[in-house]
Amino acid sequence: MPKITLEDGTFKEVAEGTKLVLAIDDCGCDILHRCGGNSRCTTCRVEILEGDAGPIGELEQERIGREADWPANRRLSCQVRVTGDLTVRVLSTATSTGMPRGSRPID
Ligand code: FES
């Protein structure tokens, strides 16, 4: 099973095909997902530090295409399906922003 590791070393093994945002959530991280995983808000953004997060889908590309200076390793975790080991940096959490997290995305 693929292993998802956060920057602080927390990790979780998840079934292949799991949405990355849910894997991060299940690591105990309070990552934001304000639009509920619908590729609208970008608050679930992460940086891929190690591993291959797979191709960028049409919905994700359309949304990140509206952002200026979007780094190549930055992804919308609600749009990534885990297929292999990844190490990620979570960029927006409820703790760091004071914002409500949003409803948990559907698997
Ligand atoms: S873009 Fe809103 S939760 Fe991913």
pLDDT tens digits for 46-105?
999 999 999 999 999 999 999 999 999 999 999 999 999 999 999 999 999 999 999 999
CA of 23 to the centre of ligand 1 (A): 14
- Nearest atom, ligand 1, residue 43 CA: 2
- Tell me the residue length of the chain: 107
- Nearest atom, ligand 1, residue 76 CA: 4
d(CA 37, CA 45): 11
CA of 21 to the centre of ligand 1 (A): 9
Pocket test for ligand 1, best of 20, 29, 40 (most atoms within 8 A of CB): 40
Strands 45-50 and 74-76: antiparallel
Q: Is 33 in the pocket of ligand 1 (CB under 6 A)?
A: yes
Domains annotated on the chain, with CATH: 3-97 (3.10.20.30)
pLDDT at 3: 98
pLDDT tens digits for 31-52?
999 999 999 999 999 999 999 9
